[in-house]
Amino acid sequence: MPNHIEHLVRQLTLDEKIALLAGADAWHTVAIPRLGIPAIKVTDGPNGARGVSRNGIHTSACFPIGVAMGATWNPALVRQIGEALAEETKDKGAHILLAPTVNIHRSPLAGRNFECFSEDPYLTGVMAAAYITGLQSRGVGACIKHFVCNDSEFERFSISSDVGERPLREIYLRPFEMAIKQAKPWSLMSAYNRINGVWASENRRLLVEILKGEWQFDGLVMSDWYGTYSARATHNGLDLEMPGPARWLNREHVLAALERGDLRESDLDDKVYRLLRTIERVGGFANPTPAIEQANDRPEHRTLIRRAGVESIVLLKNEGRILPLNPSQGQSIAVIGANAHWAAIMGGGSSEVAPHYVVTPLQGIRARAGEQCVVDYAIGTPIFRRLPNIDPAWVRIPASDRPGVQLDYYTDLDFGGEPVRTDTLTTLEASWFGDRIEYLNLTTFAAKLSCELLPPHTGHYHIGMSCVGQARVWLDGELVLDRWEKELMDGNEQRQTIALETGRRHRLVVEFRWPTPGNWRAVQVGLWPEREDDPIAEAVELAARSHVAIVFAGLTKEWESEGFDRIDMELPGRQNELIRRVAAVNPRTIVVLNAGSPVHMPWIDEVAAVIQAWYGGQEAGNAIADVLFGDADPGGRLPTTFPKRLADNPAYINYPGENGHVLYGEGLFVGYRYYDRKGIEPLFPFGFGLSYTEFSYDRLQLSAPMMRPDETITVSVDVTNIGDRPGMEVVQLYIHDRVARLMRPDKELKGFAKVTLQPGETTTVTFTIDRQALSYYDPAVPGWIAEPGTFTVLVGRSVADIRLKASFELVAEG
């Protein structure tokens, strides 16, 4: 410990030490000006750095989501993303990015699967370590989360994840352990849920015995926001309660814990040490003056986001090699689907950012297709849960020609007096998080969102309003939607039909108020033209007269989000019908899926090609076009199994839980481990992904026929591009323990490498197998055991496409 930090701890009064145990507000720690201890700032991630405001006051770069990063199978690329995110975090005046999310894809329905890397602990751990290393190499702290078994959103503030010791160690703790030992994150976030009945934020066994004891984690343990539940959090491993002000790690409870002897003074000092050490690591002492938030749209980040999008895209089917498309052939291309025009670039919840810009798939395709191709668009079917935001091109600041919506804040709940602040939004949607409104230090407030609306067509429109709070909408002075006296937490959408005229500037005003203290408030007004015809019929007609039809289907942040799980694997609305009807009239139908987790594909045999594009960030449209037109090989491989049906999933019987508990009854057999053992064929296996070229695997060699526990074995394999195009390949190594004292999965991922090869090019890929790669956790010891015996090395393109095998012996020590 640096001497100056020890000196600071000795100088702090007891009250000052206690004050440091909770945040000052939603995003800052407490400062102690008397001793020169500055506040540091945290901000949400993981696919961008948002800053304080959720309303786009300062826009951010939006990167591909966590599962897309996992689908790249490229740790070097993910490290570069971490480095870029460090710059983005500094742009928001923050010191710690609340990322990465390393929870496990236990079920396809989990609402935050899109944030997490994989169903596999090894792939997750490698990616998390790369992300953290990149971030912290630029002086920004990572906050690895959510520790642990926060693998669904159902009753997330109270559910107990009941999990056995072996799966806890081998599946759910393992990626945290790998990342902590390899990359040493400077902070960690506890989960909302309970683990085997004990809240994560006060789970002494996890936070003290395992994390800080066994793993020697020397960073800061903070709670998830409002994720503390009792005074037991004072003395069971939590260092920082967020957000502030304190609810449980306050003077009353800490003094009581000290008096009872539950909390020793040395334990209190350790908490303070950890915070001060974190401030030191992120440069807080060296640069104590808070930096102002800003938006920097960096060209190099644009390029990186596009590349990451390309490397994440998984080609699932390519019948007759319909892909890549050749724009020089002068094709007519039908682009169909809501997600082609309203790009789904991220999931919902705390990971959302306001992007600098968005390239939609339709824009990306049109830009790449060029003048020789005719690209036409039809929505096919809307998939909105709420009416979509008003197109920013339709709104103007009142009495001006500037695009945008004027947002005025008032301290008077009835809009008396002058506004105390004015901001500009892009559309009629705003939300606020925290006990006090950003920039204003207000617990209660009123807001007025005003714009002039320029509709492109005369006719009837559906207007909808949803809010958490109280709101009403005025159109040209007439009240059209009213929830001014309704309950605050309703959130349901109210709709009305209105008439709009093109060429007329309609005055639209939304009044919103929040009269009581709280931590989440929101209002959104959407607009959608009324139409009498069937939009699917329009799309089918377009597809029938086009050379190729590209249907964009999937989910959006309204269907995949923090706060709730999906109810099934189905595509919302009439998307399955749309795909089938388009495919029936055009045999060259390509489906592009925007989703952060698997969806049911009953039409899979009826379409020519399927691409899994995830949520690709602000450059999603360009990345998709790069792959569709063959400017890049589809570089992604599945980081999670796609089952044929939901009932095949190993967590199915025990999901989502009941009476406050969810049993992790599948034990070790999560994801591909289960499908392998049960002999259930998934729709697409873990690690799967096609290329525009072909690869051969030859000359699998081991450096020795046997190894001792303190030794390693090197595995090498030659991989050749035997096709006529450059391509990316992910070489995957699995281990099989032939005979074990305890039950083990048939295959476990223990190595992978991504290579790019020119036609005819061969490269030798090498892996190193050590004791840990062969070990399992035995609760009877307790500890990790590498049991002597025969192990098989399996190398291939996916867990179901093993090309080469070899065996070696692990011999006993001595």
**How is residue 169 annotated by DSSP?**
I
pTM, entire model: 0.97
Q: Over the stretch 626-639, which tens digit does the pLDDT of each residue have?
A: 999 999 999 999 99
Residue 65 domain-assigned? no
Same domain, yes or no: 545 and 628: yes
Same domain, yes or no: 656 and 566: yes
Residue 268 domain-assigned? no
Query: What are the residue ranges of helices labelled H in 92-192?
Result: 121-137, 165-167, 174-183
pLDDT of residue 294: 96
Query: Stretch 545-561: mean pLDDT, rounded?
Result: 97
Residue 150 domain-assigned? no
Domain that holds residue 471: 392-426+435-518
Same domain, yes or no: 670 and 700: no
The tokens describing 694, both together, are 């072909």
Same domain, yes or no: 403 and 351: no
The question of whether 533 is a catalytic residue gets the answer no
Report the alpha-carbon distance of residue 270 to residue 317 in Å, rounded. Answer: 55
Looking at 518, 546, 564, the residue that finishes a domain is 518
Looking at 518, 544, 567, the residue that finishes a domain is 518
Report the alpha-carbon distance of residue 785 to residue 810 in Å, rounded. Answer: 12
Instruction: Compute φ and ψ for 200, nearest 5 degrees.
Output: -60, -35
Query: Stretch 722-743: mean pLDDT, rounded?
Result: 97
Q: What is the CATH number of the domain that holds 645?
A: 3.40.50.1700
Confidence of residue 434 (pLDDT cuts 50, 70, 90): confident
Non-local (6+) Cβ contacts of 82 within 8 A are 130, 131, 132, 133, 134, 135, 136, 137, 142
Confidence of residue 813 (pLDDT cuts 50, 70, 90): confident
Residue 801 domain-assigned? yes
Same domain, yes or no: 544 and 667: yes
Report the alpha-carbon distance of residue 717 to residue 697 in Å, rounded. Answer: 7
Same domain, yes or no: 739 and 659: no
Strands of 520-529's sheet in order across:
429-433, 520-529, 459-468, 494-500
Residue closest to 9 by CA, chosen among 29, 32, 25: 32
The tokens describing 134, both together, are 């990149």
The fraction of the chain above a pLDDT of 70, given in percent, is: 100
Residue 741 domain-assigned? yes
Cis peptide before 58 (omega within 30 of 0): no
CB atoms within 10 A of CB 329: 10
pLDDT of residue 738: 95
Report the alpha-carbon distance of residue 388 to residue 322 in Å, rounded. Answer: 33
Amino acid at 73: W
Confidence of residue 517 (pLDDT cuts 50, 70, 90): confident
Residue closest to 181 by CA, chosen among 699, 752, 730, 770: 770
The tokens describing 493, both together, are 């959408």
Look at the chain and count its residues: 814
Q: What is the CATH number of the domain that holds 752?
A: 2.60.40.10
Q: Over the stretch 454-505, which tens digit does the pLDDT of each residue have?
A: 999 999 999 999 999 999 999 999 999 999 987 777 778 999 999 999 999 9
Cβ atoms of 242 and 269 within 8 Å: the answer is: no
Residue 61 domain-assigned? no
pLDDT of residue 268: 98
pLDDT of residue 487: 73
Same domain, yes or no: 416 and 551: no
CB atoms within 10 A of CB 240: 25
Number of domains comprising the chain:
3
**Residue 814 confidence (pLDDT) above 70:** no
Residue closest to 623 by CA, chosen among 610, 635, 640, 609: 635
Report the alpha-carbon distance of residue 801 to residue 786 in Å, rounded. Answer: 27
Residue 181 to residues 165, 185, 219, 223, Cα–Cα distance (Å): 20, 9, 12, 21
Cα pseudo-dihedral 685, 691, 694, 698, rounded to 10? -50
Non-local (6+) Cβ contacts of 721 within 8 A are 693, 694, 695, 727, 729, 757, 758, 759, 760, 761, 762
The tokens describing 603, both together, are 């039409």
pLDDT of residue 486: 77
Q: Over the stretch 587-627, which tens digit does the pLDDT of each residue have?
A: 999 999 999 999 999 999 999 999 999 999 999 999 999 99
Q: Over the stretch 359-396, which tens digit does the pLDDT of each residue have?
A: 999 999 999 998 889 999 999 999 999 999 999 999 99
The tokens describing 464, both together, are 């909808």
Report the alpha-carbon distance of residue 98 to residue 435 in Å, rounded. Answer: 19
**Residue 269 confidence (pLDDT) above 70:** yes
Report the alpha-carbon distance of residue 763 to residue 434 in Å, rounded. Answer: 53
pLDDT of residue 1: 53
Query: What are residue 697's DSSP bridge partners?
Result: 719
Same domain, yes or no: 597 and 729: no
Same domain, yes or no: 752 and 653: no
Same domain, yes or no: 369 and 396: no
- Residue tagged active-site, from 25, 44, 91, 224: 224
Same domain, yes or no: 476 and 403: yes
Helix, strand or coil, per DSSP, at residue 195: strand
Non-local (6+) Cβ contacts of 674 within 8 A are 650, 666, 680
HEC letters along 766-788: EEEECHHHHCEEECCCCEEECCC
Report the alpha-carbon distance of residue 619 to residue 410 in Å, rounded. Answer: 37
For residue 488, is it left (φ>0), alpha (ψ between -120 and 50) or beta?
Answer: alpha
Cβ atoms of 274 and 220 within 8 Å: the answer is: yes
**Residue 577 confidence (pLDDT) above 70:** yes
HEC letters along 697-740: EEEEEECCCEECCCCCEEEEEEEEECCCCCEEEEEEEEEEECCC
Helix, strand or coil, per DSSP, at residue 401: coil
Q: Which residue has the tokens 């974190």?
A: 278
Report the alpha-carbon distance of residue 640 to residue 209 in Å, rounded. Answer: 31
pLDDT of residue 73: 98
HEC letters along 31-48: CEHHHCECCCEEEECCCC
Residue 725 domain-assigned? yes
Looking at 471, 493, 518, the residue that finishes a domain is 518
**How is residue 32 annotated by DSSP?**
B
Cβ atoms of 410 and 368 within 8 Å: the answer is: no
Cβ atoms of 605 and 319 within 8 Å: the answer is: no
Non-local (6+) Cβ contacts of 166 within 8 A are 667, 668, 742, 776, 777, 778, 779
Q: Over the stretch 231-264, which tens digit does the pLDDT of each residue have?
A: 999 999 999 999 999 999 999 999 999 999 999 9
User: How far from chain centre, in Å, is Cα 609?
Assistant: 26
Report the alpha-carbon distance of residue 26 to residue 41 in Å, rounded. Answer: 9
Q: What is the CATH number of the domain that holds 417?
A: 2.60.120.260
Same domain, yes or no: 501 and 562: no
Residue 313 domain-assigned? no
Query: Stretch 293-319: mean pLDDT, rounded?
Result: 98
Helix, strand or coil, per DSSP, at residue 100: coil
